Amino acid sequence: MLWVSALGLVFLLLLTLAPVISSSQTDPLKVLESRHTPGFPKVLNITDIGNLLSVSSPEIRRVFEKLLECNTLECIEGDELSARILKAILYNSTGFDLIGLSNLSDRELLNMINDPNVVELIEALNKKSFINPSDVDKLISTLENARSEGSISPQAYMAALELLKRILEKRGNSQSSTIERKQIEAIRDALIEASRKGLLLELIEKLGKLYGESQRWSQSFNSQRGSLEIRRPQVKFELPSMSFDIVILILLASLATIALLNAKKLETLLNNATKRSGGLEEFSNEHLILKLYWNSVRIIEKVSGIRMDISTTHREYLAKVKDYIGALVKPFKGLTLSYELYRYAGISGEVVVEEALKYYNDLERLRRLKNS
Amino acid sequence: MILKVVEKASNILVERSTEIKLVLSSLLARGHVLLEGVPGVAKTYTAKTIALLLGLTFKRIQMTPDLLPSDITGGFIFDQRTGEFKLRKGPIFTNILLVDEINRASPRTQSALLEAMQEKQVTIEGVTMPLEEPFMVIATQNPIEFEGVFPLPEAQLDRFLAKIPVDYPSTIGFMEILKRADEIEEAILNLNPVMNREDVLNAIREASMVRVDDSIYEYIVRIVEESRRHPAVKLGGSPRAGIAMVRLAKAWAYISNRGYVIPDDVKAVAIPVLAHRIILRPEYEVEEVKPETIVKEILSRVPIPRP
């Protein structure tokens, strides 16, 4: 009943807010994929970022977190949704699907490289059976120079790295992991560059509807690069104009309805909460020794002010409280041993039960004496 | 009778009652122990006193890098008078073997010893000979030495039922040691056995019959599983660690004069059983986090059986 009432309240609130809630419902990534023409390379051709509007902000945040935490492309691509969203972002910010290169052949990759020097170096490297680390370093520095001078496009740079990685992997060269890190760096750089141009911001503004979320992405990027600027998004969540008194009245009326409908349940809950203070009825299905012991623990907790933690053993608790409970030590020690005998030695004979009862009565008597 | 051994040994060795109880429990659980501590904290005395009080045969090997496996196991030597090869048994043929500074021996010698510990038998030139029960190795190692030592690999550490840290005594204990140093030495020299081999074998049988409630098994399983899930741990306790914990907890309960295991017994043996089986992640090792701390932390949050 409680849930029904709660749902009613939520429904009421939703009705009030209905005019401002977006109606976009379909999965935009599925829509985008359905546009793929068979026979063409499977590179997501995303031109309309408006289609990504219903991707929730936590998902977008996950993509960014993934990008920051991953050191391999496999790691990013392992998370399908992240990879797809990232591809969309990259396409819109750089005009190229940078991380889809792994599907292309060596020849296709080589054709993409528009710098003859780099092509020559890669081909020379590919002919060698043993690759000297200095050759790799030389190629990397040539690539980096070409990139900084702008003589090589971002996609050509990524293609060259992919090719170099493949060559190194074929020869079991450990430098391939360095190349992969460079690829990740290039993706991050592309995003940061896009952010400088305002392209990424535009996308984030449209994707992340919540201001707080985009601020967090901004912080995580800045901690990595210190240069990403994300402005406050312009899309705001606004309530329709409504008198504050009316809102309060609606809430009070809803609470009163819930309380009336669930009066019985509330009573039971309150009873259960107060039961913990004592009484043997709580262990109605347990053996008498268990009831006696756990009730004695509650008494001792009250007297000593020391609670028994879930990981504290019975003897540890006895040792903890013994200096604070005076004459109650003896019966409580007796009850602890009776409990152990029943619980762990499997002894539940009359003698043990009688002894436990005697200790419990002593404990109660001494407590009353102490209180009086 | 075993309680008498605990009492007598505790009277001789100042502030070593926990270590004595753990070594005796390991013997009753048919395991081996590794005593780890800096030099001069009575590791050797502890082992020697226990062996003498139990009335068992006792031998000692001082490990050095040039020690060969045959120096431990023995070998066949040619007798010129008879013209035959005769078996010369090594020091391993004993009930209690004290292996001093085990990490000084070469890996080859270490593994020969550890194999004998596991199999409880020795094979010399194709002839397999069982070791007499009870057989227990009490190995010692110094945790602060790094030069000229061969640290035991994790798989071999696992063969020790328990690793017992032997710490410095308290200030009061230290003063007592200073006052009684000569008396302690003499007492060890003149020790009379309290038990004999048969009594020890009986005690081993009785300890194995100590009752373990299902809830205690569950408690042990949770502790071992938590050791694997802990974020600081690269490799946690295996099922073998769980078995070791049950055995040692039973023996600990027996030595505490009880026929059943309680959660306190499990807690008492958890660090000696688990700490040397836990491998920490490098980032925690760098921070100097100790496996003992991890086990303590686990024990502080795993609930004891209820109600």
Tell me whether residues B261 and A286 touch, CB distance under 8 A: no
Residue B304 counted as domain residue: no
Choose the most confident range, by mean pLDDT, from A47-56, A180-189, B276-285.
B276-285
Neighbours of A144 (CB within 10 A): 13
Q: How far apart (Å, rounded) are the C-alpha atoms in residues A172 and A175? A: 9
Residues of chain A contacting residue B303, judged by C-beta atoms under 8 Å apart: 310-311
pLDDT for B45-71, tens place per residue? 888 899 889 999 989 999 888 989 888
The total of other beta-carbon atoms located within 10 Å of residue B136's CB is: 29
Q: Which pTM was predicted?
A: 0.59
Where does a domain end: A208, A224, A240?
A: A224
Using the 3D structure, point to which of B175, B197, B219 is the last residue of a domain.
Answer: B197
Domain, as residue range, for B276? 209-299
Nearest to B85 by CA among B40, B47, B124: B124
Examine the fold and report which residue of A175, A190, A224 is the final residue of a domain before the chain moves on: A224
DSSP per-residue letters across B131-173: PPSS-EEEEEE-TT--TT--PPPHHHHTTSSEEEE-PPPPHHH
Confirm or reject contact between A280 and chain B (CB < 8 A).
no
Euclidean distance between CA atoms A67 and B227, whole angstroms: 31
**Contact across the interface for B263 and A345, Cβ inside 8 Å:** no
Dihedral sign of CA atoms A63, A67, A71, A77 in order: positive
Q: What is the DSSP string of B273-284?
A: HHGGG-EE-HHH
Which residues of B fall within a CB distance of 8 Å from A344? 211, 213, 215-216, 260-262
Q: How confident is the model at residue A206 (pLDDT cuts 50, 70, 90)?
A: low
- A144-178 pLDDT, tens digit per residue, is 888 877 778 777 888 888 888 888 877 766 677 77
The CA-atom distances, in angstroms, between A74 and each of A77, A99, B292 are 5, 10, 37
Compute the distance between CA of residue B255 and CA of residue B245 in angstroms, rounded to an integer: 15
Domain holding A313, by residue range, is 281-371
Q: How many domains does chain B have?
A: 2
Q: How far is CA B129 from the centre of its chain?
A: 23
A173-187, A251-265, B160-174 — which one is most confidently predicted on average?
A: B160-174
Q: Quick check: B211 and A294 CB within 8 A? A: no
Contacts of B85 (CB under 8 A, 6+ apart): B76, B77, B78, B79
Task: Report the residue from A290, A311, A345 with minimal CB separation from B307.
Answer: A290
CATH number of the domain that residue B28 is part of: 3.40.50.300
Tokens representing residue B254 in the block: 């027996």
Give pLDDT tens digits for A211-226.
Answer: 344 444 444 444 444 3
Instruction: Determine, yes or no, domain membership for B83.
Output: yes
pLDDT, tens only, B233-246:
999 999 999 999 99
Residue the block writes with tokens 């379909």:
A26
Q: Which of A283, A310, A313 sits opposite B267 (nearest CB)?
A: A313
CATH code: domain of residue B275:
1.10.8.80
Closest CA to B256 of B21, B26, B30, B28: B21
